[in-house]
Structure 1
Amino acid sequence: MTGSVFPVGHYNGARDAEQAVRVGWSRHRLDADAFAVWVLAHGVPEVGKGNWTVADVVAHCTDTGVDAPGKHLEKLADSGLIAVVEDDPASAAQFAHRHRMDVLFVGLGNAPEQLEGHAVGIPGLGTAAVLDPECYELWQWGSVAPTLWHSCEVRATVVAEPAARPDPDAALTEILGDLRFLLAHGCAYLDVVG
């Protein structure tokens, strides 16, 4: 298994000795090692909008003492808790058609330290992340879209030259980068369509 890793599901807290993650209408219970792999699939903030691969997840899992991270990755992928997007447009488009995004946190207004930055977090507790305008647009409107692909279509239409045909495939790379940033900072989560 290779490619970019995206976690799917919304964390629902501890249940007995396991952690619960909801995907669609299903709740999955994960042991400590499987949960650690799922958490590390979100990426780390230092990556920004960059690629977060299977190899990155395995390396970080190994560094933190998780046993058999590759095996856990495969099981999580089989159960729909992790999506692996291969480095080709067809795989990315298929992923975007099958998944939707929902947001966590609330908008806190413009970030004083960054002229075009938008802060999101929890009022009274602080800022979780400062988003650039494109990332903020996905965060603000992405949960309204029924799929990630719809977000790509909207972005492609907005940025297209007046006489040009919108290209959602070109917007997809940007959307996936923005999504990576949001996931790594805990500002959003992915779910399945339907």
Structure 2
Amino acid sequence: MNDRELLIPLGHDLGVVYSGAVERQQQVRVGAEVVELPDDEFAVWLLAHDIDDQDRPTRASLEARALRLGLEAGPLVDRFLRDGLLTTLDPDGDDAVEFAQRHQLFPLLTGLGPDPEQPAMQTVGLLDQPVTQVSNDVYDVLMWSQLAPELWSGCHDAAKLAVRAGGDADPRRLLARVLEEAHGLLCVRAAYFDRRRVR
């Protein structure tokens, strides 16, 4: 196993749906498909988002965390990987570029601008309530990501902005930073990854 490998959840949590009197399912939209998951399966998908911005989820860490909660995650992770609810990649590898060419990053919260006490960081949240922080480079990708046809184009666009600001103009290094910092956004529902929109 690659020690740089990350586990990335895909899809947007749409909430609970009830069918019948007691049948409760959690809906996750991936692309144009909606997948309904029972609570225990949804819990495993949620664990892939991790719990804070310092975590680096891998398949092994997800399975260990699920086991502590009494959940057997191995076969479910296999299914989620096949069905496109999870993916694994090395942020510095060729598979990261392939992922970025087929997926988009969508913000769910508002960009609030620079942190006055940490000028290298930008805040994301609601109105005047910061929820999380990201680096300047990742902030540019996040805030402009909906205009790009996929994440890879968004990284190229942000790299061009970085040139004007005297920053790092390498889209591949920028992509690696986005993927490394992504769970800090995912765990607080500030953003989600999804399949590239077909235009």
TM-score when normalising by structure 2: 0.81
2:21 paired residue number: none
**2:8 counterpart (6, 23, 30):** 6
Alpha-carbon distance, 1:25 to partner:
0.9
Does the Cα contact within 8 Å between 1:97 and 1:149 map onto a contact in 2?
A: yes
Which residue does 1:186 correspond to in 2? Answer: 189
SS in 2 for 1:142: helix
The 3 A distance-change label for structure 1 pair 23 and 12 is same
Partner residue, 1:58: 63
Provide the C-alpha distance between the structure 2 equivalents of 1:33 and 1:81, rounded to a whole number of angstroms: 15
* 1:128 counterpart letter in structure 2: V
Query: CA offset at residue 173 of structure 1?
Result: 1.3
Match of 1:28 among 26, 35, 42: 35
Corresponding position of 1:174: 177
1:93 aligns with 2:97: yes
Q: RMSD over aligned Cα, in angstroms?
A: 2.5
Structure 1 residues 173 and 72, CA gap change in structure 2 (3 angstroms): same
- Which of the pair is proportionally richer in strand? 2
Alpha-carbon distance in 2 for matches of 1:168, 1:55: 29
Amino acid at match of 2:43: A
Q: Which residue does 1:111 correspond to in 2?
A: 115
2:153 equivalent among 144, 150, 172: 150
CA distance change for structure 1 residues 25 and 74 in 2, over 3 Å: closer, same or farther?
Answer: same
Displacement of 1:46 in angstroms is: 4.1
The 2-side partners of 1:188 and 1:159 are apart by 22
* CA contact 1:128–1:186 (8 Å) conserved in 2: no
Verify the 8 A CA contact 2:100 2:152 in the aligned structure 1.
yes
- CA shift, 1:110, in A, is 3.8
- The alpha carbon displacement at 1:88 in A equals 6.4
SS in 2 for 1:42: coil
Q: Runs of 5+ in structure 1 lacking a partner?
A: none
Alignment: residue pair count: 186
Change in 2 beyond 3 A, CA 1:171/1:20: same
Q: Distance in 2 between matches of 1:153 and 1:21?
A: 29
> What is the 5 A alignment of 1:122-161?
122-123=126-127, 126-159=129-162
* SS across alignment from 1:146: coil
- Paired-residue identity, %: 31
Contact 1:134 1:178 in 2 (8 A): no
Q: Is the 8 A contact 1:105 1:122 kept in 2?
A: yes
Query: What's the CA shift for 1:158?
Result: 4.3
Q: 1:13 corresponds to which letter in structure 2?
A: G
Q: Which structure 2 segments of 5+ residues have no match?
A: 19-23
1:32 & 1:155 partners in 2: Cα distance? 38
CA offset at residue 180 of structure 1? 3.0
Compute the TM-score of the two structures, normalised by the length of structure 1: 0.83
